């Protein structure tokens, strides 16, 4: 889907998390299958002769719609959350709302890429989220992925806390969306690599994932990343273990394709005269599924420099503070091949995501 979401009444651009159009004040609901906003009348919209209701978490900022026969008051994204704080814990609930916003953005991107999204509620090992607060629980929450379930610490939505961790760990970038994109990379590594030949290819690029994770963890936290890691890896954390290298690289694939898609949706392009290094304009695409990874990376090289300049002009640090060296480009090429191999249509994704009555019985 390559056009930016708009209000159906006044055609004003709206952000993905909009509940009420800022221009005409219409109540809006987001419809995932069409990636469009619909106007609401008494909390419902009729779309292709079906009735869709607002998600029961609308009071917590969820603007998605639920089809009347889905058997739940919660939308597809909210249902992926397996564990959340108690509703009486209002401080944690505010942090949950911010995290759910990032998660909905992730789900839209996974849907756009045509990746299968099978919920934890429908199949063992399916995708799910345990969204816990280390502050409410009074104990640390380890961010991670195990058997389809992604665990996040909602306390990372506190800017001072997340920024302190970022500085302590020496990371150039740390966001909730970044965590989500990394952890979902662990999930998709197992979903998308299904045969030995592909695993062999993966091991050649990322290393053998059967190496002890426990040893890797203690080595990483006692010795840090090896000297000169920048010539092979996207980040220090990626050096820890082949699983982490894959997840870090997968997260970057989502950063790059997601940002280029937004640029395409709002019509940003760079003139060849300005870049002077290319004969043709840089015109980002909504999808690179049918394009070689070289085009994706060439477009990104120019667009990321342009975005870095824009950020600097506001006194911010770079939008994309990373270098894509040749080995990392090869790893991204492997992920591009995995992700763009026979993407599912939205109908197929939702046939998988919504069990039929017989499956439910």
Chain residues in the site for Zn ion (CB under 5 A): 7, 9-10, 12, 21, 23-24, 26, 55, 57, 62, 64, 75, 78, 244, 247
User: What's the closest the beta carbon of residue 49 comes to Zn ion, in angstroms?
Assistant: 23
Nearer to Zn ion, 9 or 285 (CB): 9
Nearer to Zn ion, 24 or 191 (CB): 24
Nearer to Zn ion, 180 or 303 (CB): 180
Nearer to Zn ion, 38 or 288 (CB): 38
Burial class (CB in 10 A: 0-12, 13-18, 19+), 259: middle
User: What's the closest the beta carbon of residue 145 comes to Zn ion, in angstroms?
Assistant: 6
User: What's the closest the beta carbon of residue 119 comes to Zn ion, in angstroms?
Assistant: 13
Pair of tokens at residue 332: 């991204």
Pair of tokens at residue 4: 């930016």
Burial class (CB in 10 A: 0-12, 13-18, 19+), 192: middle
Q: Nearest CA to 252 among 296, 287, 302, 196?
A: 296
Pairing of strands 65-67, 50-54: antiparallel
Nearer to Zn ion, 12 or 309 (CB): 12
Pair of tokens at residue 125: 């090992």
Nearer to Zn ion, 26 or 319 (CB): 26
How is the chain split among helix, strand and coil, in percent rounded to 5?
Answer: 50, 15, 40
Q: Cα–Cα distance between 157 and 201 in angstroms, integer?
A: 37
Pair of tokens at residue 184: 């979902």
Q: Cα–Cα distance between 361 and 166 in angstroms, integer?
A: 47
User: What's the closest the beta carbon of residue 17 comes to Zn ion, in angstroms?
Assistant: 11
User: What's the closest the beta carbon of residue 325 comes to Zn ion, in angstroms?
Assistant: 21
User: What's the closest the beta carbon of residue 286 comes to Zn ion, in angstroms?
Assistant: 23
Q: Cα–Cα distance between 118 and 272 in angstroms, integer?
A: 43
């Amino acid at each position: 889907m390559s056009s930016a979401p708009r209000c159906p009444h006044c055609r004003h651009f709206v952000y993905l998390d909009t509940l009420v159009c800022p221009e005409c004040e219409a109540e809006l609901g987001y419809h995932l299958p069409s990636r469009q906003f619909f106007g609401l009348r008494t909390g419902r919209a009729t779309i292709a002769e079906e009735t869709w209701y607002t998600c029961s978490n609308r009071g917590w900022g969820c603007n998605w719609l639920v089809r009347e026969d889905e058997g739940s008051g919660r939308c597809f994204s909210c249902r992926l959350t397996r564990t959340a704080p108690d509703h009486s814990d209002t401080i944690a609930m505010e942090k949950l709302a911010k995290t759910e916003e990032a998660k909905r953005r992730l789900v839209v991107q996974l849907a756009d890429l045509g990746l299968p999204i099978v919920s934890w509620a429908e199949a063992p090992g399916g995708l799910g989220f345990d969204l816990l607060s280390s502050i409410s629980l009074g104990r640390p929450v380890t961010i991670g992925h195990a058997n389809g379930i992604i665990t996040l610490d909602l306390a990372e939505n506190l800017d001072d806390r997340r920024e302190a961790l970022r500085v302590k760990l020496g990371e150039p970038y740390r966001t909730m969306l970044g965590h989500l994109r990394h952890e979902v990379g662990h999930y998709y590594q197992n979903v998308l690599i299904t045969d030995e030949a592909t695993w062999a290819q993966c091991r050649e690029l990322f290393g053998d994932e059967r190496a002890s994770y426990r040893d890797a963890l203690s080595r990483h936290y006692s010795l840090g990343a090896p000297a000169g890691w920048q010539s092979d890896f996207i980040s220090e954390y990626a050096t820890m273990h082949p699983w982490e290298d894959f997840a870090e690289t997968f997260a970057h694939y989502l950063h790059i394709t997601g940002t280029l898609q937004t640029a395409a949706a709002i019509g940003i392009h760079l003139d060849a005269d300005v870049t002077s290094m290319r004969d043709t304009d840089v015109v980002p695409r909504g999808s690179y599924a049918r394009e070689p990874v070289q085009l994706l990376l060439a477009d990104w090289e120019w667009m990321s420099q342009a975005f870095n300049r824009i950020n600097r002009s506001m006194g911010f640090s770079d939008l994309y503070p990373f270098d894509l060296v040749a080995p990392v480009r090869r790893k991204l090429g492997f992920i591009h091949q995995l992700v763009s191999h026979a993407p599912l249509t939205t109908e197929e994704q939702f046939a998988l995501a919504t069990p039929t009555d017989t499956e439910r019985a």
